[in-house]
Amino acid sequence: MNSNSKRLIFGGLILSFFVYSYFVYTSGTDNDKGVHLINEQSKRGKLLFQNYNCTACHQIYGLGGYMGPDITNVISAKNKGPVYAKAFLQGGTPRMPNFHLNEKEIDELIAYLTYIDKTGISPIIDFKINYDGTVGQK
């Protein structure tokens, strides 16, 4: 092998290293992770979520109690949403206690749930293996 073809192979490997690194470090970075939704209102919602121990019955990202459903994506789920979630918080149900929250507290909890909704998907219903070996949602 002459030194020209060695240089060509070496150059090609270096180039592919940079191209591959570019894709590894930039793929998925433009996903909306809800950072812009962290504000005073959603922070107070988080405190309420902790004070009322919602997680005793509900899961976020699949973690928590199992008496109620996973509420990670209740805000964006089909046929659900903020108004739907609000109804549960306003009145409770025979199985979920009525916490007698005021409108401000309910809006804070909804703001928190709206933020959570953007941070992940749970439960993962269907997934696929991407061409580069990473796992994504179908």
- What residues make contact with ligand HEC under the rule CB under 6 A? 49, 52-54, 56-58, 67-69, 71, 74, 80, 85, 88-89, 93, 95-97, 99, 109
Min CB(40)–ligand HEC separation in Å = 18
Preceding omega of 123 cis (within 30 degrees of 0): yes
- CB closer to ligand HEC, 15 vs 67: 67
- CB closer to ligand HEC, 44 vs 80: 80
Min CB(62)–ligand HEC separation in Å = 14
Query: Is the Cβ–Cβ distance between 57 and 67 less than 8 Å?
Result: yes
Q: How far is CA 98 from CA 4, 42, 90, 95, 112, in A?
A: 77, 21, 7, 9, 19
What does DSSP assign to residue 122? S
- CB closer to ligand HEC, 38 vs 82: 82
Min CB(41)–ligand HEC separation in Å = 14
Q: Could you please report the per-residue DSSP string of 43-75?
A: HHHHHHHHHTTGGGT-EETTEE-SSS---TTTT
Query: Is the Cβ–Cβ distance between 111 and 98 less than 8 Å?
Result: no
Min CB(119)–ligand HEC separation in Å = 16
- CB closer to ligand HEC, 20 vs 84: 84
